[in-house]
Amino acid sequence: MTEIFRLLPEDCTPELDAKQRDTLLQTGTYILPGGDSLETIEYELDSSGFSDYLRYGFHFTTGQNAFLSIELRKFKKADGGILIVYSRIGGMLRAYDQHDIFIFDYKNSKLTLSKQKLLPMNVPIKDFLKKGTPDSIEKKIKSYVMATYSLHPENPRSISFILYPGAPLGDMEKYLLSDSMTFTWNGRSFARKLVLQKE
């Protein structure tokens, strides 16, 4: 995954040049030069011990409490090729959202943006709700939750799209079928499935 990280387009590692990427890979953390008491940015990188996964991003050590978190996940294609999923989320600690979800093809030490739309940018809130949920409740729940992908490889073939309540849902929680949807890779496409909550 280190080679994948080095090959990413510039806008996939904001404000990091090739030398700074290498430093981050070696040390696991990197503070951007020129910081001050109002704005100092620290990058962190972690693979969590998985050979097909990498997470990196930054937060402010002074001033703001904004953050950016990026995950990379590698999958084998049925034709023997390699597919890379890139997910970027960010915002404030209590108000963040999905910024990007990209698919890259990795071949002959080259990374190219795939033309295939294998994953949706977002999953509609209604897909997590029971049939017959009033529109007013759907809108309210949508305003309460943050929804993002998680590429962490708990499951070797799947990634998840998860709802995170920014405030307690209270009685509205009874309308939720689930707060998580898995996307499982079969070598050619991702099959999606709602992870039903236990009653």
Supply the pLDDT for residue 51.
93
How is residue 30 written in tokens?
Answer: 């990197």
Average pLDDT, the chain: 93
Position 199 confidence tier, pLDDT thresholds 50, 70, 90: very low
Q: Taking the CA atoms of the chain, what radius of gyration do you get in angstroms?
A: 18
pLDDT tens digits along 120-168: 999 999 999 999 999 999 999 999 999 999 999 988 899 999 999 988 8
High-pLDDT (> 90) share of the chain, % = 83
For residue 81, is it within any domain? Answer: yes
pLDDT higher for 198 or 142? 142
* Cα–Cα distances in angstroms (integers) from residue 13 to residues 144, 168, 199, in the given order: 30, 34, 42
Supply the pLDDT for residue 48.
85
pLDDT above 80 (res 197): no
For residue 190, is it within any domain? Answer: yes
CA dihedral sign, ordered 170, 89, 94, 55: positive
For residue 172, is it within any domain? Answer: yes
pLDDT tens digits along 33-60: 988 878 899 999 998 889 999 999 999 9
Domain containing 185: what range? 2-194
Output the DSSP codes for 79-128.
TS-EEEEEEEEEEETTEEEEEEEEEEEEETTEEEE-S---S-S---GGGG
Query: What's the pTM?
Result: 0.93
For residue 23, is it within any domain? Answer: yes
Total count of domains within the chain = 1
24 closest CA partner among 37, 52, 5: 5
pLDDT above 50 (res 66): yes
Compute the average pLDDT of residues 107-129.
95
For residue 199, is it within any domain? Answer: no
